[in-house]
Structure 1
Amino acid sequence: MIRVLLVDDQAMVRAGLRMVLSAEDDVEVVGEASDGAEALRLVNRHRPDVVLLDIRMPGMDGLEAARRLSADAAAPGILMLTTFDEHEIVDEALSLGVAGFLLKASSPEQLVDAVRAVAAGSGVLDPAITRHVIDRFADAPRADPRAAAALADLSPREVDVLRLVAAGRSNAEIASVLFLGEATVKTHVSRMLLKLGLRDRVQAVAFAYESGLLTPGG
């Protein structure tokens, strides 16, 4: 059972999240908080697997809560809820070890899939956020010979998958481009990340530019 804590200052938003997640047999909402300070207390009390954390809240906001939670080695996975106009804080949140970002406008299916992915130790990025990360690394590429050498550890198919992941493609889109099943794509993504020692798709974007696999405008 995946234990989830909901953190948002809007009661109606929390109610909607609870309704969606509580309908799943493998998810349990163990608590709700309206700000970061309350979230910290409830994390200590309930020890959730995933914290669904809003960014902008009165009092202690989501970034500060994420910073304090991440200081604990036993911290839960943090999935941050964001809107289209909050990309400027993505870099700071990623540096704190946040596991993923999901737009508030995402579908119920995307929400459930994201919670499951974070609980399993994977990273999650909404495609709109992925675009921001791609643009940042494209604007400031960093050549790293060690990263380039690490590409040799990948199979040709895994290189194709890495290139498409770094281009912001979803697993379904990659499956369509490469004429593969989506389950096969998931396997390739997992193996690629494991071989390169990467945590998630965000790090894969950075690696693709650092290794020279992708170049600005390429």
Structure 2
Amino acid sequence: MTGSSHYFAAQPDAAHRPGLVRVVLPDLYLELATDSGVFSPGRLDPGTRFLLEKSPPPPASGDILDLGCGYGPIACTLAARSPGATVWAVDVNERALALCASNAAQAGLANVRCVLASSPEVPAVLAGIWSNPPVRIGKPALHAMLRGWLARLAPQAAATLVMGRNLGADSLHAWLANEEGWSVTRLSARSGYRLLRVTGPDDRNG
């Protein structure tokens, strides 16, 4: 657990332990290289799988974001499903970003851009956000992160977030809706996970 518990470090100190995760979806098959020191290196995280199986399709074009991309299962899936869009895969973990870039290249997904979360390259306006957010960074940091990125959503654009109920999904739902003023819809629930769609207050039916 030492390596995985610090997946949000810029440069994980866990010894390298290369691995492979197969992403098997009804419309897609990917083989993704993993390593210690990144999120869920041994298997596709159940929350991420839930998001990939149940989230609405990404827009056909525009700039879309995988927030906290890890080794790239969400970014690569979005890129394959929307080849006309540009997928910005952001993370603070440099090992994860290198894996994500390599995995996208290996899969022939030229529309993935892997950059640090602080990079000025990321567009100011986004056509969508997908994330299995890093809840273990703590609630204040998580709230600050989401507040900043959600503000970049274009009108009628949505963020699709997955979170475990035991990790605070319902309180996050309440915070986004009641304190931040977003329109939040629970799209689905399974095995203790919540899939949330977040839009501007005037985009409830967008």
Task: Give the structure-1-normalised TM-score.
Answer: 0.31
Task: Give the structure-2-normalised TM-score.
Answer: 0.33
Bigger share in strand: 2
Bigger share in helix: 1
> Which structure has the bigger radius of gyration?
1
